[in-house]
């Protein structure tokens, strides 16, 4: 009889986006790590020449280095928000969860800008 | 000032799909969203279905999805929305009976699962002493304010994606009883909440805390339970 539910979500909260990005970056990292292990593993098994040429190709590719910057952003976000979640797990920060999020994001931005400052001259 | 009100309409007996009706409503001072809904029913469309009772935020029957969040219609001032465009939908994650009235049965079924009543210890000779200033007591005190409106249940993505997850309100109630020194069914309740569709579904999203009209933070109650579940598994739980 009752055939319908309102499936609307709440989108205007910090926690919603913190959670969603955590899951998206977490899944992206799993995907990356599988790719990474398979690629490194197979090229290593084929001997030093193959390994060197694969790495040389990747490190020489601008596209790959830009993807690496995206990877760094994902790790940074996932790690910093991961600290926030772990604080909750030990019972800290329930009445300051949004403030903790923004402080960590500010720290992340500083770290990322530092990273760009060091890495961008290498790429371009 | 005129309000542009969009209201979700659905009658499972006659409609295949839901629709939105729009109404122009004259705003008056201190108007609550529940006044808007009543105004529509009184003067524009008597067939509009919704639920309310106390009108002062204590019965917990008027939770609706108002401008993007579950809120108590009676405690939400139109002026607090910051816009003249109001969209009213039924509380998410619950089956719709008609229009804005949802069936709270699944919510209370889960509430019942954790045995939401005190089961007193029988062998106590002395009265239990709960010091008013002990930290734990303070958590219970404000969490007992829950009016079972279901706003948290309607705001939680984990509830939305797992119909069996107990949800914030039931777990908060379980915590209030488990942390109560006079209660005898602590372990019994822990066995229920330690299931994967108990406390472990919570991913600290905090949407429940954001929408709770009583300013409860169910996330914290759930964390307190997670801690006890881990201690219990390690054989370190006393109580
Ligand atoms: C930098 C160190 C890391 C920290 C501090 C961290 C922390 C966390 C925490 C606390 C959670 C639980 C989130 C929740 O309850 O919803 C989580 C979830 C997850 N993490 Fe990480 N993590 C880290 C690195 C990684 C890496 C390297 C991967 C990929 C291989 C990964 C993949 C995931 C996945 C798939 C989830 C599940 C997402 C979810 O539950 O929504 N994490 N992480
Ligand atoms: S915890 Fe808050 S939002 Fe949830 S049912 Fe109780 S009063 Fe409503
Ligand atoms: S009518 Fe009772 S809480 Fe709104």
pLDDT beyond 70 at B20: yes
Check residues A17 and B136 and name the one with the higher pLDDT. Answer: A17
Q: How far apart are CA A17 and CA A21, in angstroms?
A: 6
Q: What single string gives the DSSP state of each residue in chain B?
A: -EEEEEEEE--TTT-SS-EEEEEEEE--TT-BHHHHHHHHHHHT-TT-----S-SSSSS---EEEETTEEEEGGG-BGGGG-SSEEEEEEPTTSBEEETTEE--HHHHHHHHHT--S--B-SS--SPP---TTSHHHHHHHHHTT-----HHHHH-HHHHH-TT---HHHHHHHHHHHT-TTBS-HHHHHHHHTSTTTGGG-----HHHHH-TT---HHHHHHHHHHHHHHHHTT----
Partners of B5 in the beta sheet? Answer: B23, B86
Give chain A positions within 8 Å (CB) of B102. 6
> Ligand 2: which residue has its CA nearest to atom 2?
B212
Q: How far apart are CA A109 and CA A119, in angstroms?
A: 15
| pLDDT of res. A1 | 54
| pLDDT of res. B66 | 98
| pLDDT of res. B56 | 97
The number of the ligand 1 atom at minimal distance from the alpha carbon of A22 is 41
The number of the ligand 3 atom at minimal distance from the alpha carbon of B62 is 4
pLDDT in tens, A32-86: 999 999 999 999 999 999 999 999 999 888 899 899 999 999 999 999 999 999 9
Residues lining ligand 2, CB < 6 A? B 146-152, 168-169, 172, 212-214, 216, 218
| pLDDT of res. B33 | 98
Mutate to test the interface with B, among A1, A3, A6 (most CBs of B within 10 A): A6
Written as six digits, the tokens of B142 are 């404000």
Q: Taking residues B11-32, what's their average pLDDT?
A: 96
Q: How far apart are CA B172 and CA B168, in angstroms?
A: 6
Residue among B200, B202, B179, B204 at smallest CA distance from B189: B179
| pLDDT of res. B172 | 98
Q: Taking residues B111-132, what's their average pLDDT?
A: 89
What average pLDDT is seen over chain B?
95
Lowest mean pLDDT among A72-86, B28-42, B101-115, B137-151: B137-151
Q: Does A62 touch chain B (CB under 8 A)?
A: no
pLDDT beyond 80 at B100: yes
Lowest mean pLDDT among B124-128, B141-145, B151-155, B214-218: B124-128
pLDDT beyond 60 at A11: yes
DSSP H helices, A3-96, are 14-45, 48-60, 62-89
The number of the ligand 1 atom at minimal distance from the alpha carbon of A75 is 1
Among B95, B157, B223, the residue with its CB nearest the CB of A88 is B223
| pLDDT of res. A123 | 74
Q: How confident is the model at residue A30 (pLDDT cuts 50, 70, 90)?
A: very high
pLDDT in tens, B124-141: 888 888 777 877 788 898
Q: How many CB pairs under 8 A join A and B?
A: 87
Written as six digits, the tokens of A112 are 């990322």
Q: What are phi and psi of B69, to 5 degrees?
A: -145, 150
Q: How far apart are CA B8 and CA B19, in angstroms?
A: 6
pLDDT in tens, B171-181: 999 999 999 88
CB B64 within 8 A of CB B88: yes
| pLDDT of res. A101 | 98
Q: How far apart are CA B115 and CA B173, in angstroms?
A: 9
Q: How confident is the model at residue B182 (pLDDT cuts 50, 70, 90)?
A: confident
User: The complex's ipTM?
Assistant: 0.92
pLDDT beyond 70 at A2: no
pLDDT beyond 80 at B41: yes
Instruction: Tell me the three state secondary structure of residue A5.
Output: strand
If one residue of B54, B104, B211 were mutated to test the ligand 3 pocket, choosing by the most ligand atoms within 8 A of its CB, it would be B54
Burial of A75-108, coded b for 16+ CB within 10 Å and e otherwise, reads: ebbbebbeebeebbeeeebbeebeebbeebbeeb
| pLDDT of res. B128 | 82
Residue in this structure with the two tokens 């084929």, named with its chain if needed: A46
Q: How far apart are CA B219 and CA B203, in angstroms?
A: 9
Contacts of B16 (CB under 8 A, 6+ apart): none
pLDDT in tens, B53-72: 999 999 999 999 999 999 99
CB B15 within 8 A of CB B96: no
| pLDDT of res. B83 | 97
């Amino acid at each position: 009889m009752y055939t319908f539910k309102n499936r609307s979500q709440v989108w205007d909260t910090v926690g919603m986006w913190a959670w969603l990005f955590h899951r998206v970056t977490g899944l992206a990292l799993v995907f990356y790590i599988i790719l990474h292990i398979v690629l490194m593993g197979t090229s290593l098994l084929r001997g030093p020449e193959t390994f060197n040429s694969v790495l040389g190709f990747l490190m020489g590719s601008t596209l790959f280095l830009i993807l690496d910057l995206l990877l760094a952003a994902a790790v940074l976000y996932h790690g910093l928000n991961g600290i926030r979640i772990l604080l909750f797990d030990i019972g800290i920060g329930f009445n300051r969860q949004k403030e903790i999020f923004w402080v960590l994001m500010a720290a992340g931005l500083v770290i990322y800008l530092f990273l760009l400052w060091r890495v961008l001259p290498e790429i371009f | 000032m005129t309000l542009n009100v969009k209201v979700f309409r659905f009658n499972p007996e006659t409609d295949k799909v839901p629709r939105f009706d729009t109404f122009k409503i004259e705003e008056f001072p201190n108007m609550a969203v529940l006044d808007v809904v009543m105004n529509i029913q009184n003067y524009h469309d008597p067939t509009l279905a919704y639920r309310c009772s106390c009108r002062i935020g204590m019965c917990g029957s008027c939770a609706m999805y108002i401008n993007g969040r579950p809120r108590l219609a009676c405690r939400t001032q139109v002026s607090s929305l910051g816009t003249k465009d109001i969209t009213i939908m039924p509380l998410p994650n619950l089956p719709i009976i008609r229009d804005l009235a949802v069936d709270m049965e699944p919510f209370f079924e889960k509430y019942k699962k954790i045995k939401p009543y005190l089961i007193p210890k029988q062998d106590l000779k002395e009265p239990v002493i709960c010091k008013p200033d002990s930290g734990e007591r303070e958590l219970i005190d404000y969490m007992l304010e829950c009016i079972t409106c279901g706003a948290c249940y309607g705001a939680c993505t984990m509830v939305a994606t797992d119909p069996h997850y107990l949800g914030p309100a039931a777990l908060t109630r379980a915590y209030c009883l488990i942390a109560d020194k006079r209660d005898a069914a602590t372990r019994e309740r822990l066995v229920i909440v330690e299931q994967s569709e108990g406390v472990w579904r919570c991913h600290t999203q905090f949407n429940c805390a954001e929408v709770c009209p009583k300013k409860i933070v169910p996330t914290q109650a759930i964390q307190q339970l997670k801690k006890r579940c881990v201690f219990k598994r390690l054989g370190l739980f006393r109580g």
